[in-house]
Every structure is written in structure tokens, then in C-alpha cells.
């Protein structure tokens, strides 16, 4: 499995939805429970955040590749769908529990 890096902000309602989605998805799929996800609070680590190309949070990267950047138009269902897609992509790198391809 590849590691995912997630940039977020405390107090962000979209980020809270992403955290909730990941918790639910991990509970549903044991392979995803083992997935390495580094959550970086953007304002606490600006030196790290500035090395990545994104504007909105949450934003998810696998290595340097941006897999997802939230949009203000995204609702909870879309955020969950996108977080699931990212998790599948990370697991698909070595065939563990991916159950699908990146879109």
C-alpha cells in the first residue's frame, strides 16, 4: 500500500466530513484500516503545505500526485466518494484491497 498525505484545517466542515468518511470506510474494509494516512494540519505545518500544489482542503496526495482536492460544491456524499477513491488507489498500488481503479 502507498501512503496518503491529507492536508486539512481544524474547524473546516469539509475536513470533518473527510475524517468521518475515512473512519466509516476503515470500519467497512479491514484492508483500509491498515492504510497509512498522514494528516497534516495546514496552518500548523505551513513549511510542508507550501511544497504541495492545492488551494482547498481537504486535499489528498499519494507521493507528489494529487488525488483529490475538495471543492466548496462537494457535499458529504461526494467527499466520501472521493476519499474512497483515494483509498482504493493507495491500496491498488500493490493489489491489497483496492477493489477498483482510480477515476
CB 98 within 8 A of CB 1: no
Phi, psi of 46 (to 5 degrees): -60, -30
Q: Where are the domains of the chain?
A: 4-92
Q: What is the pLDDT of residues 45-88, one digit of tens each?
A: 999 999 999 999 999 999 999 999 999 999 999 999 999 999 99
DSSP 103: -
Nearest Cα to 91, choosing from 26, 15, 1, 6?
Answer: 1
Say what the pLDDT of residue 99 is: 42
Whole-angstrom distance, CA of residue 16 vs CA of residue 2: 23
Fold of 4-92: Glutaredoxin (3.40.30)
What pairs with residue 70 in β-bridges? none
Q: What is the pLDDT of residues 13-55, one digit of tens each?
A: 999 999 999 999 999 988 888 899 999 999 999 999 999 999 9
Say what the pLDDT of residue 86 is: 96
Say what the pLDDT of residue 70 is: 97
Triad 61, 67, 79: Cα angle to 5°: 105
The mean pLDDT value for 90-94 works out to 74
Say what the pLDDT of residue 63 is: 93
Amino acid at each position: 500500500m502507498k501512503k496518503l498525505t491529507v492536508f486539512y484545517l481544524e474547524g473546516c466542515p469539509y475536513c470533518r466530513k473527510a475524517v468521518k468518511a475515512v473512519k466509516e470506510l476503515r470500519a467497512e474494509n479491514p484492508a483500509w484500516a491498515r492504510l497509512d494516512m498522514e494528516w497534516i494540519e495546514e496552518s500548523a505545518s505551513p513549511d510542508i503545505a507550501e511544497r504541495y500544489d492545492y488551494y482547498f482542503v481537504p486535499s489528498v496526495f499519494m507521493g507528489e500526485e494529487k488525488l483529490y482536492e475538495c471543492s466548496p460544491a462537494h457535499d458529504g456524499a461526494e467527499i466520501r466518494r472521493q476519499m474512497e477513491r483515494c483509498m482504493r488507489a493507495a491500496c491498488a498500488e500493490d493489489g491489497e484491497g483496492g477493489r477498483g481503479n482510480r477515476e
